[in-house]
Amino acid sequence: MPTTVRLAAVQMRWSAADYRSGEAFAARVLDLSRAAVAGAGGPALVAFPELVGLPLLATAAGASDALDHGLVRALAGWAVRSPRRWVGAAWRHRVGPLAGVYAALAPAAFELQRDAFAAAARATGATVVAGSALLPTVAFEAARGVHVVDPAPQNVALVFAPNGALVGRAAKAYLTSGLERRVALRPGRVADLPVLHTPVGRVGVAVCLDAWFHHVLERFDGLGAQIVVQPSANDAPWRRPWPPDPRRTEEDAWLELGLRSGLQGRASLRYGVNPMLVGDLPPLAPRGRSVIVARVAADANDGVPGWGPGLLALAPDDDREAIVAVDVAHPDS
């Protein structure tokens, strides 16, 4: 058994250019994945941020040229030009107009995301958490090919094994009160969140807000997960007062009360990986500093200076691209 593993959080700065074509997106994912595993001496886990696959809906629609003006405009323009496709999808699946747009574009968007991240996993030999995208449930069946099996869109993360196989999906259970409530998403169920056996250990994925809920972490801990990955896209200024407690900043809350805090005192959970999305792609302008965290002994005093024990690595900025990576003891060691 390997004695060390590489844990890497990709703090991707997204832009419209990343989604001009499936080939452009795949090349971008591959470059970032290779940077994340460079120099690794053992199995690696590479985690991308929440919503990294969302603009692929515009790519699939052939509307990526309009992404400079925002995702909403790009998809609305496609809907105006292609009324039969989205109305037909809405009628076929018995859903509303917005869900009809998702259903019409989802198979192609899913394939673009799957192919890009599967190729990156194979090329690097890493377990890859492919951030998340807003998609209905899409599946392959021999007689029907890739198709929508459940039209209700969710914020779902995909996980790929080192050979490129898609081995897990985790749908976000706790939706934010802003964008996610407005775009017709259906929440996932905590009871459906999987624990996946991988070369780096047993992994659970909690998309963004899910990892703030300790009963999500309790589920993973009870099922024997050793690593929790929290793909995030924090669409708020990083230095603003934190709304629940304005005495803290957004940064204070994430680094003091977030995933690091949730890991402490657990039985099986040992490490946490929190990749953050940054950059401007209207209507979103996410900000944040990606981190790698650990469960530590009560009297530990190591960590990133100024933030204390259990914070193993931290991105230097909240708005620039970065690879945050550490080599740590294998969870089974």
Q: What CA–CA distance (Å, rounded) separates 21 from 212?
A: 35
What pLDDT shows up at residue 2?
Answer: 79
Report which residue type is found at 247: R
* pTM given for the model: 0.95
Helix 97-124 with 22-37: angle, nearest 10 deg: 40
State residue 321's pLDDT score: 98
Helix (H) or strand (E) holding 140, with range, is: strand 133-141
* Helices then strands, each counted (H, E), the chain: 9, 15
pLDDT at 303: 54
Nearest-5° Cα angle at 55, 51 to 59? 150
For 109, the token pair is: 């968007």
Q: Identify the burial level of 287 via C-beta atoms within 10 angstroms of its C-beta, where 0-12 means exposed, 13-18 middle and 19 or more buried.
A: buried
Pairwise CA distance, residues 246 & 248, whole Å: 5
pLDDT of residue 85: 85
What pLDDT score does 305 carry? 52
Reading the block at residue 57, the tokens are 């809906």
Which regions of the chain are under pLDDT 70?
A: 298-308
Q: Which domains does the chain have, with CATH numbers?
A: 4-329 (3.60.110.10)
Q: Which residues contact 309 (CB under 8 A, 6 or more apart)?
A: 296, 300, 301, 302, 303
